[in-house]
Amino acid sequence: MKKNVHVVPTWEIKSTGSSRAYSRHTKQSTAIKKATQLAKKWKCELLIHDHEGKIRERNTYTGKDPYPPRG
Protein backbone atom coordinates (compact mmCIF):
# COMPACT_ATOMS: atom_id res chain seq x y z
CA MET A 1 0.00 0.00 0.00
CA LYS A 2 1.26 3.44 -0.91
CA LYS A 3 1.70 5.75 2.06
CA ASN A 4 0.73 9.40 1.82
CA VAL A 5 1.45 12.25 4.21
CA HIS A 6 -1.54 13.97 5.84
CA VAL A 7 -1.63 17.26 7.77
CA VAL A 8 -4.72 17.20 9.98
CA PRO A 9 -6.40 20.22 11.68
CA THR A 10 -4.61 19.63 14.99
CA TRP A 11 -1.35 20.26 13.05
CA GLU A 12 -0.30 16.65 13.32
CA ILE A 13 1.47 14.83 10.52
CA LYS A 14 0.20 11.32 9.88
CA SER A 15 0.82 8.70 7.23
CA THR A 16 -1.93 6.76 5.49
CA GLY A 17 -3.15 3.84 7.57
CA SER A 18 -1.48 4.98 10.79
CA SER A 19 -3.49 5.99 13.84
CA ARG A 20 -0.48 7.58 15.58
CA ALA A 21 0.91 10.96 14.62
CA TYR A 22 4.36 11.11 13.02
CA SER A 23 4.87 14.52 14.63
CA ARG A 24 2.89 17.37 16.23
CA HIS A 25 3.35 21.09 15.64
CA THR A 26 2.07 24.31 17.20
CA LYS A 27 1.76 26.16 13.87
CA GLN A 28 0.13 25.20 10.61
CA SER A 29 3.05 26.57 8.59
CA THR A 30 5.65 24.43 10.35
CA ALA A 31 3.48 21.31 10.01
CA ILE A 32 3.10 21.89 6.27
CA LYS A 33 6.85 22.55 5.80
CA LYS A 34 7.80 19.34 7.60
CA ALA A 35 5.11 17.33 5.79
CA THR A 36 6.34 18.65 2.43
CA GLN A 37 9.88 17.52 3.26
CA LEU A 38 8.59 14.06 4.20
CA ALA A 39 6.45 13.75 1.06
CA LYS A 40 9.47 14.63 -1.11
CA LYS A 41 11.67 12.16 0.78
CA TRP A 42 9.10 9.35 0.64
CA LYS A 43 8.03 10.27 -2.96
CA CYS A 44 4.33 10.34 -2.14
CA GLU A 45 1.36 12.69 -1.97
CA LEU A 46 0.82 15.44 0.59
CA LEU A 47 -2.79 15.96 1.69
CA ILE A 48 -3.75 18.97 3.81
CA HIS A 49 -7.10 18.71 5.59
CA ASP A 50 -9.37 21.55 6.73
CA HIS A 51 -11.19 21.77 10.09
CA GLU A 52 -14.06 19.64 8.77
CA GLY A 53 -11.67 16.85 7.75
CA LYS A 54 -12.05 17.48 4.01
CA ILE A 55 -8.97 17.66 1.78
CA ARG A 56 -8.33 21.31 0.98
CA GLU A 57 -5.01 20.88 -0.83
CA ARG A 58 -3.23 17.98 -2.50
CA ASN A 59 0.34 17.95 -3.84
CA THR A 60 2.14 15.10 -5.58
CA TYR A 61 5.87 14.54 -5.07
CA THR A 62 6.20 11.18 -6.86
CA GLY A 63 7.67 12.53 -10.05
CA LYS A 64 4.53 11.45 -11.90
CA ASP A 65 1.31 13.37 -11.40
CA PRO A 66 -1.64 10.96 -11.47
CA TYR A 67 -3.88 13.78 -12.76
CA PRO A 68 -1.76 15.98 -15.06
CA PRO A 69 -3.43 19.08 -16.53
CA ARG A 70 -4.72 18.83 -20.08
CA GLY A 71 -3.32 20.79 -22.95
Task: Express each pLDDT in 12-25 by its tens digit.
Answer: 999 998 889 999 99
What local confidence, expressed as pLDDT, does residue 38 receive? Answer: 94
Task: Express each pLDDT in 43-52 by its tens digit.
Answer: 999 999 999 9
The reply to whether 71 falls in a domain is no
* Domain tally, the chain: 1
CB 58 within 8 A of CB 47: yes
Distance separating alpha carbons of residues 18 and 24, to the nearest angstrom: 14
Distance separating alpha carbons of residues 34 and 45, to the nearest angstrom: 13
Percent of the chain with pLDDT over 90: 75
- Domain residues for the domain of 44 are 5-60
Confidence of residue 68 (pLDDT cuts 50, 70, 90): confident
The reply to whether 43 falls in a domain is yes
- On whether the pTM is more than 0.85, the answer is no
The reply to whether 36 falls in a domain is yes
